[in-house]
Structure formats: C-alpha cells, structure tokens
Amino acid sequence: MSIKSFSPGSITAFFQIDKDLKTGMPRSAGLSINLREGVTASLRESLDTRVFWNGKSIEIPTVSSVLKQLSPSPVQIELESPLPIGCGFGISAAAALSSVFVLNEYFQLGKTKEELEKICFLAEIEHGTGVGDVAAQMYGGIVHRYVFGEVGQRSHLQDLNHPQGLNHPQGVNDFYCSVYGPISTKSVLQSPVALDRVNHAGLKAIEQMKQKGTHSTWEDLMDVSWIFSKECGLLTPEVERAAEKIKKKNGKAFMIMIGNSLVSTLPDEDCHNTWKTNIDPQGTRLL
C-alpha cells in the first residue's frame, strides 16, 4: 500500500507569543503564509525506525516524537522537500504533520485532523521549534490568528469583496523567497528580552491587519510585515540590505520569521538561493 501526504512550508510574517495562564502552555497570534513548496512524506515498515530527508538519514525531533506516540511498529519515514531546514519555513511542523497523516492512514489509527494537529503542536512545544506553524500548515492559505486561542481556533484573512482575495488561488501574484542562512527559533523563543521586543512589535502588526479587515490587500500585508521586521529586533544585516535594494526598485519585502530569509515581490538577483513561489490554499493532506 503506497501512501503519501503533503504539508506546505509556512512563512510567518509577524507574530506574538504569550502563555496560557491555566495550562502554562505557550500560544501565539500572528500571520502565516503557506507555500506551494513543502514536505512530502511516505513510509514503509522496517526492522528499526528511521527518518530520511531527501534520501539522507536525519534526526528531526518533532518527527521522532510523533513516531513514538503513534507508530505501533518500526517504520521508515521518507521525507522529501526542496525547502531548507532552519531558515524559517516551518520544516519541523511540516515534517511532523506529513508524518502523522501517513501514519494515521497506513495503520488506520482513526485519529481526527484536530487530534493529529494537537499531537504535532505539542511536539513543537516540547522541542521549542515553533508555536503557530502547525495551526497554519494544517489548513493552508493565509492564516491571520489575531487572538490567542487553543489549537484549532483560527481566523482566515480574506479579501471577501474582491474577486482576487488573498486566499483565492489566483489572488496573489507569484513572489520570491531568498535564503541567506539559518536562525535558531529555540534561542529566540527562550529569550525573555527578545520576546518582549517581538511581542511589542507583534501586537502592533496584528492590530494593523485586523483594522484593515477583509479588505486587506497583498500590498497591505507586505507593508505591515516590513514594519514588524524593522521593529521586532530580529532583522539581520543580509535581509535588511536585500530588502532595501528591492525597495529602491519599487518592490516590497519583509523578513521571514524566524529565519535569515526574505519574502519579496522582486527577486534578489545577488542571492544564489532565490526562487519564485506562491500560496498553497489546501494545507496538509493525503496525496
């Protein structure tokens, strides 16, 4: 039985994090954009459990967690993706999500999407690799979570009064991603000083997009995200130089959170790792 699943990569434009007073669990608000590039997973039973990334053996903590929890016997998980690891594309979440979908189908575990989402969310929290990626990547499109909430509670940002709304497959022109290197998400999430500045800038960005409401445009999103990039304290010299260069050509850009990477309306011709992309509207699914 050949089973494959896909989970889109996700880029975070801006975010805010706090802790649930009852549970002590971190929770997030912000805006995420799901990409048509992501992680494809397949599996086969094996004598021992192993995970492969583009054909090479690898340890991905979130995948290890969900395998221990769900797999009734040893399996070999094959993950394939064109996206770089550790550069802000939600790989830890996408790898976990695509893995649980094939496990659930292959072993007929009967888990609901909400149950699989929570398993992956808790794996992310356990390893400090993210907070909001799982919620976005499960459902696809552009996800604006403008209030803190439990897993499964979200609000999609849509331009309902325009024939090419932000979540419409033809609603956004192709844009570009450029990668200059990795940043440790865990180091930021565990730094109170860094988080305080991020949260101040994040609250401002979330409120700005909320006020624009369903009439928001892609240009609005880019502008608000760039302000957050400048104010959150995480902007790297490489991203700042590239963004300013693109802006001089009348383009728009912002930093991917959390990664030394850029989203832009024009390509960074000086970056060797730049590609054209667009939005995945469907989210994690069986293929």
CA dist., res. 29 & res. 143, Å (int)? 10
pLDDT in tens, 148-157: 655 444 444 4
Kindly state the average pLDDT of the residues 8-29.
Answer: 80
Query: Which residue has tokens 């790297």?
Result: 236
Give the position of tokens 């149950």: 115
What is each CA distance from 105 to 53, 71, 266, 285, in whole angstroms?
Answer: 21, 11, 40, 11
- Max intra-chain CA distance, the chain: 57
In whole angstroms, what is the distance from residue 105 CA to residue 124 CA? Answer: 22
Q: Are 149 and 249 contacting, i.e. CB atoms less than 8 angstroms apart?
A: no
pLDDT, averaged across the chain: 87
Report, as an integer, the average pLDDT of 184-193. Answer: 72
Count CA within 13 A, CB hemisphere, residue 182.
11
Listed in sequence order, the DSSP H helices in 107-191 are 113-127, 133-139, 185-189
d(CA 19, CA 6): 30
Residue 168 has pLDDT above 80, yes or no: no
Q: Both tokens of residue 106? A: 């292959």
Task: Inform me whether the pLDDT recorded for 120 exceeds 90.
Answer: yes
Give the torsion through C-alpha atoms of 220, 226, 228, 232, to 10 deg.
170
What is the token pair recorded at 197?
């500045």
Residue 86 backbone class (left: φ over 0; alpha: ψ -120 to 50; beta: rest): left
Is the Cα torsion angle 172, 14, 142, 216 positive or negative in sign? Answer: negative
- Phi/psi for 48 (5° steps) reads -145, 155
At residue 135 the predicted structure's pLDDT band, cuts being 50, 70 and 90, is confident
Percent of the chain with pLDDT over 70: 85
Q: Name the CATH code of domain 1-287 (choices 2.40.30.10, 1.10.1040.20, 3.40.50.300, 3.30.230.120).
A: 3.30.230.120
Give residue 147's pLDDT band: very low, low, confident or very high (50, 70, 90): low
Question: In whole angstroms, how far apart are CA 148 and each of 22, 29, 38, 145, 277?
Answer: 13, 5, 26, 7, 29
- What pLDDT, in 10s, does the model give residues 236-276? 999 999 999 999 999 999 999 988 999 999 999 999 999 99
**Residue ranges covered by each domain of the chain:** 1-287
